Amino acid sequence: MGWTALRVALTVLAVMSSLASSLAMVSLDSSSPGTDEVQTSILAFSGFMVAVGAAVMLVWRHRWPELVTGIALIPPLLLTADSLAALIALAALVAHRTGLIRWGGTALVYAATAMAVWHDSHRPLELTIAGNVVGTQTTPGSVIGVLVIAALFTAVPVTIGLVRWARDQNTRLAGEQHELRAEMARREERARIAREMHDVLGHRLSLLSLQAGALEVTTDEDAPAAEAARTVRTTAKQSLDDLRQVIGVLRENPAASEPTPAAAPPPQPTLTDIPELIADARRAGLAVNATILLDQAVSAPPHLATGAYRIMQEALTNVLRHSPGAPADVTVRGGPGVGLAIQVVNPLHPQPPASPGSGTGLTGVHERAILLGGRMGAGPTEQRVFVLQVWLPW
């Protein structure tokens, strides 16, 4: 708030100073003897009005520095007015612009200031300011004096503008350094999480897959236990593949995610894989009543197909976790131009068991639906059932 108040005060001071200076120049020109009174009055009035406009435009000198500087140059270059507004605008121009615009504007303001000082030096001695320093007669010394005074006047706003430009550059560099440090910290954290996931989850899933394989081998091939072991082994293998992909993203190593002849990444699931996902849920003990009506499921966009598969996967997992033993009614409908609608309905468990999950499953479904441009609704109804509805654009 303090800095804002200071900027407002400086802007008001700049405008008032420019107006006062313009009024003083008009008064001096009107008081000069030996000139045509009518011509002088018209010229002075025109210069004063343009100077007023230039002074008011100083309010926007930081937003449109080229425009304000150009307007402020008109009174001293074309009329008999001072260049204070142009000098004030020059500081903003130097602070916000570089290269040809900065130095071209500086040269024009210097020329305008030299003309204003030259005009002032040729007033009568009792009315001039510059004339008391360089003299009122046109001599080589007076010309050099006018150029030196104009250079000194121009150097002040140029110095102020360069200091402000350097300060803004330092602030920008400090912000970029802060962002760079934050990004390095995020990368280190992602690398640490990736190492922990690889060491802990990878090891446990590998053991689970080996144990399920051993159980499948030692059990009668047609026994229900063998079928369950095969399901566990397949699920563990898929989880390992998903884990490798997640670790690759966390490490941000593009080479790790590129397919190679030795180890190509597993293909992403599609809409045609949803029936197999439902079959896996049935093998896990979930009674699923499924209705799937899809048009051109094979040609569905990859991001839509993968997102719908993951949403269905999370929905079935939630039913198994929060309502064990309860049936689920699954409906999947859609096609190009219509959209994809997913609905999963299951009875509420009278006493929901404690869930080992993180409680963010529905949040993840909602975020995925939003990212795909769709919408999600979920919650219990008066009929004591839980309904999950998702619509995704196709």
Which of these ranges, 131-135, 194-198, 267-271, 279-283, has the smallest mean pLDDT?
131-135
Residue 48: its pLDDT value, please? 63
Tokens 């008066």, residue located: 382
Residue 257: its pLDDT value, please? 44
**Contact between residue 18 and residue 40 where contact means Cβ atoms under 8 Å apart:** no
Average pLDDT over residues 53-71: 82
Residue 45: its pLDDT value, please? 59
Position with higher pLDDT, 46 vs 344: 344
The candidate with the shortest Cα–Cα distance to 365, out of 287, 291, 321, 313, is: 313
Residue 51: its pLDDT value, please? 67
Look up residue 362 and give its two tokens: 């529905």
The candidate with the shortest Cα–Cα distance to 30, out of 20, 42, 16, is: 42
**Contact between residue 83 and residue 112 where contact means Cβ atoms under 8 Å apart:** yes
User: Residue 38: pLDDT band by 50, 70, 90 thresholds?
Assistant: very low
Report the 3 state secondary structure along 261-277.
CCCCCCCCCCHHHHHHH
pLDDT of 357 higher than 70: no
Residue 14: its pLDDT value, please? 56
Residue burial 142-154, b: 16+ Cβ < 10 Å; e: rest: beebbbebbeebb
pLDDT of 230 higher than 90: no
pLDDT of 144 higher than 90: no
User: What is the C-alpha separation between 331 and 233, in angstroms, rounded?
Assistant: 28
pLDDT of 31 higher than 70: no
Which of these ranges, 107-111, 282-286, 331-335, has the smallest mean pLDDT?
282-286
Which of these ranges, 107-111, 167-171, 192-196, 237-241, has the smallest mean pLDDT?
192-196
Please, what CATH class does the domain formed by 271-392 belong to? Answer: alpha beta
Q: Where are the domains of the chain?
A: 2-178, 187-257, 271-392
Residue 20: its pLDDT value, please? 60
Residue 83: its pLDDT value, please? 78
Residue 140, judged by CB atoms within 10 A of its CB (0-12, 13-18, 19+), counts as exposed
User: Residue 388: pLDDT band by 50, 70, 90 thresholds?
Assistant: very high
Which of these ranges, 113-127, 271-285, 307-321, has the smallest mean pLDDT?
113-127
User: Residue 132: pLDDT band by 50, 70, 90 thresholds?
Assistant: low
How far lies 195's CA from each of 192, 238, 252, 253, in Å? 5, 19, 13, 13
User: Residue 376: pLDDT band by 50, 70, 90 thresholds?
Assistant: very high
